[in-house]
Amino acid sequence: MKKTYKIDVDCANCANKMEEAAKKTEGVKDAVVNFMTLKMIVEFKEGYDPKEVMSRVYDNCKVVEDECEIFY
């Protein structure tokens, strides 16, 4: 299952850090962050609850870029 989320991030480098952090999160099959559109597309692994996974994605992204926001 894929879902798209609105994000708020200041620079392309920060967006790349968010993408890498999201990809390393348990339950995420793939993630793409588009700085130009300020969107994150997350593909979830089978059997994982997207809300729980996004909570972990958010926490992981805050570690690498503390001023980022994900609206989920």
For 15-31, what is each residue's pLDDT tens digit?
999 999 999 999 999 99
Which fold is adopted by the domain 2-71? Alpha-Beta Plaits (3.30.70)
Please report which helix (H) or strand (E) contains residue 9, including its range. Answer: none
Please state the rounded mean pLDDT for residues 36-55.
Answer: 98
Residue 8, token pair as written in the block: 């708020």
Which residues fall within 8 angstroms of residue 66, CB to CB, at 6 or more apart? none
- State the average pLDDT over residues 45-71: 96
Residue 54: the pLDDT is 98
pLDDT at 35: 96
Residue extents of the structural domains in the chain: 2-71
Arithmetic mean of pLDDT over the chain: 97
